[in-house]
Amino acid sequence: MSRPAIVTRFAPSPTGLLHLGHAYAAWVAWDAARRAGGRFLLRIEDLDQGRARPEFEAAILADLEWLGLDWDGPVVRQSERADAYRAAVDRLAAEGLVYPCFCTRRDIAAEIAAAGAAPHGPEGPVYPGTCRDLDPATAAARIEAGDAYAFRLNVGKAVAAVGQLVWRDAVAGEVRAEPGRFGDIVLARKDAPASYHLAVVVDDAAAGVTLVTRGRDLFEATDVQALLQTLLGLPRPGYRHHALIFGSDGKRLAKRDRAATVQARREAGHGPEDVLRAARMAAAE
């Protein structure tokens, strides 16, 4: 039986220009697909409508084309997939795994401070579960009244339902997931159809992605995404978490680093292969 073709993806947010780190991430996914005769997909993660800009999306497409990193099929935009995310939240809610949370960031910080010490997860202080046992009628009345809220996953209940999870990384091998470290993650908000964790697992499954290549800063995030994949009955892709690129100050490259952008290097007279070579050398893989 022949092995299924590799399907990878590059999923930038249109909130700034691509820099060397983005170029490397895109190349890793593109190269893996092309070497295997597979497909390389492009997804624009534009759920943050307050920061997403059409001019940045246009610049992303132009930079990828200039670099010679062609993609297969149409560009997918998360802003057009609200129905799919809503269906995923509804499925989890129907299983009693979701609850509305009305806490603001200030409320959460105050409760953590009052507790004296709070457990920290991979993404910072863990939500203390303030609204987890809120009376359903009270919660419904607050939603009806127009209060701001987020839908959170009851992670403890979810972990108990699925048991021990394992996912595989191309470098690290088999990894035992520990999603409980994240606490009750946000799945969606009143004004946003999905959080990062929910959107990526729904989108990757819908696109048939078989290999997720991304930076090592997202290694631990795979634990909670493996949990969501299991709860939603979605296939689990393989993963490859690659090196990050750091600037001269020792910090990971950010979109504010104008000198490191693909556009700036192109304007300075560098060619596509020059930029990709610089990105590969900086990653030192």
Residue ending a domain, choose from 159, 181, 206:
206
- In a domain, residue 235? The reply is no
Same domain? For 195 and 94 the reply is yes
Residue pLDDT, tens place only, 269-284:
999 999 999 999 988 7
Q: Residue 211: is its pLDDT beyond 60?
A: yes
Same domain? For 21 and 52 the reply is yes
Q: Residue 225: is its pLDDT beyond 90?
A: yes
- In a domain, residue 51? The reply is yes
Same domain? For 255 and 157 the reply is no
* pLDDT band at residue 1 under the 50/70/90 scheme: very low
* pLDDT band at residue 123 under the 50/70/90 scheme: confident
Same domain? For 261 and 201 the reply is no
Catalytic positions: 255
Same domain? For 141 and 251 the reply is no
Same domain? For 8 and 75 the reply is yes
Q: Residue 100: is its pLDDT beyond 90?
A: yes
Mean pLDDT of the chain: 92
Residue 142's domain comprises 81-206
Same domain? For 76 and 86 the reply is no
Q: Residue 212: is its pLDDT beyond 80?
A: yes
**What's the confidence (pLDDT) of residue 114?**
63
Task: Please give the average per-residue pLDDT across 147-175, as a whole number.
Answer: 96
- The two structure tokens encoding residue 108: 């959460």
Which has the minimum average pLDDT: 106-115, 213-222, 266-275? Answer: 106-115
Number of structural domains (the chain) is: 2
Same domain? For 159 and 124 the reply is yes
Same domain? For 193 and 254 the reply is no
Same domain? For 61 and 109 the reply is no
- In a domain, residue 162? The reply is yes
Which has the minimum average pLDDT: 78-82, 111-115, 277-281? Answer: 111-115
- In a domain, residue 279? The reply is yes
Same domain? For 91 and 201 the reply is yes
**What's the confidence (pLDDT) of residue 260?**
80
Task: Please give the average per-residue pLDDT across 50-79, as a whole number.
Answer: 97
- In a domain, residue 127? The reply is yes
Which has the minimum average pLDDT: 50-54, 188-192, 277-281? Answer: 188-192
**What's the confidence (pLDDT) of residue 252?**
74
Q: Residue 113: is its pLDDT beyond 70?
A: no
Task: Please give the average per-residue pLDDT across 211-233, as a whole number.
Answer: 97
CATH of the domain at 276: 3.40.50.620
**What's the confidence (pLDDT) of residue 272?**
97
- In a domain, residue 187? The reply is yes
CATH of the domain at 196: 3.90.800.10
